[in-house]
């Protein structure tokens, strides 16, 4: 069973938050999934069974409230029972102004949030149990609005650059990006790294991979040679190298796992959201 409604952020958060979402999924199917890198940071509130991060040292139990920062490789999270969670999907430049914590490099897989967030996670668990996800999401947004933007940040240039990268699916020249942001190339690089811990060029690669991965999820049989130009790669070989860099497998290997996403692809709301958000007209 899979249930994943998506909610728009309130106006105060709309420039820095992509969406809020809730997930209910049975343990067996959830534990088969792999989290591939994408262009967002997830602020996850676990309101179900305990979650564990699988790494080279074994299993690490996760706190109720944690951040999944930008990744450069697949992540495996396992549930000890029925999976229920709520997440705020942030653009990476919003970590400092909204969460009041520093951005971290991709070598850090999960960040546990402070005691106030853990207590809030306990409250949300009760709200989901007794009043449902819609009210829990409303409470989540209200909590974030009360705690966000406590310090002054000059985000306009970095927001401009970040949204330009998303609109272009990472296919914009860095010189043009700097010009649109009214910054020099060196200023853009420095400020972008300050807020996101990576360069705008590195972030563009993640955005491109996200569009490619989403396309293959929606239509795993699409021809890679057709996708290369559409997704901003010089040729099919370039596409395959980039995919392997982030997914640790080839697109063909990934296509073998496509049946695991059959249920998702039967969900018209999910498919419509993916096609609209990632502008996947080429995924038909």
pLDDT score at 105: 66
Residue ranges making up the domain that contains 71: 2-147
Mean pLDDT of the chain: 88
Alpha helices in 11-113 (DSSP H): 27-30
- Which of 89, 88, 86, 87 is closest to 128 using CA atoms? 86
User: Does the pLDDT of residue 91 top 70, yes or no?
Assistant: yes
Quick one: 190 and 274 in the same domain?
A: no
pLDDT score at 237: 94
For residues 15-29, average pLDDT: 93
Quick one: 162 and 271 in the same domain?
A: no
The count of structural domains within the chain is 3
pLDDT score at 1: 44
Alpha helices in the chain (DSSP H): 27-30, 115-131, 133-147, 156-167, 174-180, 185-196, 200-218, 224-230, 236-247, 251-256, 262-265, 268-277
What pTM, to 2 d.p., does this model score?
A: 0.88
User: Does the pLDDT of residue 121 top 70, yes or no?
Assistant: yes
Quick one: 197 and 210 in the same domain?
A: no
Quick one: 20 and 72 in the same domain?
A: yes
Quick one: 182 and 72 in the same domain?
A: no
For residues 135-142, average pLDDT: 97
Looking at the chain, the whole-number percentage of residues with pLDDT higher than 70 is 88
pLDDT band at 56 (very low <50, low <70, confident <90, very high): confident
User: Does the pLDDT of residue 279 top 80, yes or no?
Assistant: no
Q: Tell me the CATH number at 139.
A: 2.60.120
Task: Check: CB of residue 52 under 8 Å from CB of residue 60.
Answer: yes
Quick one: 70 and 98 in the same domain?
A: yes
User: Does the pLDDT of residue 263 top 80, yes or no?
Assistant: no
pLDDT band at 19 (very low <50, low <70, confident <90, very high): very high
Quick one: 37 and 115 in the same domain?
A: yes
Quick one: 19 and 64 in the same domain?
A: yes
Place of tokens 């420095």: 190
Quick one: 248 and 279 in the same domain?
A: yes
Quick one: 129 and 161 in the same domain?
A: no
pLDDT score at 274: 53
């Amino acid at each position: 069973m899979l249930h994943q409604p998506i909610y728009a952020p309130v106006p105060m958060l709309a420039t820095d938050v992509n969406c809020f979402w809730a997930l209910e999924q049975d343990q067996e199917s959830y534990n088969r999934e792999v989290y591939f890198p994408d262009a967002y940071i997830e602020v996850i509130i676990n309101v179900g069974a305990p979650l564990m991060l699988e790494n080279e040292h074994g299993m690490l139990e996760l706190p109720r409230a944690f951040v999944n920062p930008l990744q450069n490789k697949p992540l495996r999270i396992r549930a000890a029972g029925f999976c229920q969670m709520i997440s705020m999907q942030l653009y990476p430049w919003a970590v400092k102004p909204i969460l009041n914590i520093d951005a971290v490099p991709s070598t850090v897989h999960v960040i546990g949030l402070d005691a106030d967030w853990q207590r809030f996670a306990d409250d949300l668990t009760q709200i989901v149990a007794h009043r449902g996800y819609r009210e829990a999401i409303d409470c989540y947004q209200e909590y974030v609005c009360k705690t966000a933007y406590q310090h002054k940040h000059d985000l306009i240039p970095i927001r401009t650059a970040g949204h330009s990268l998303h609109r272009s699916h990472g296919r914009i020249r860095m010189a043009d990006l700097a010009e649109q942001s009214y910054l020099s190339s060196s200023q853009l690089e420095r400020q972008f790294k300050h807020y996101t811990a990576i360069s705008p060029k590195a972030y563009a690669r993640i955005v491109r991979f996200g569009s490619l991965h989403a396309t293959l999820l929606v239509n795993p049989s699409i021809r890679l040679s057709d996708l290369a130009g559409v997704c901003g790669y010089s040729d099919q070989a370039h596409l395959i190298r980039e995919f392997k860099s982030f997914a640790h497998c080839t697109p063909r290997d990934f296509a073998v796992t496509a049946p695991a996403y059959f249920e998702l692809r039967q969900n018209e709301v999910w498919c419509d959201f993916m096609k609209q958000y990632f502008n996947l007209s080429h995924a038909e």
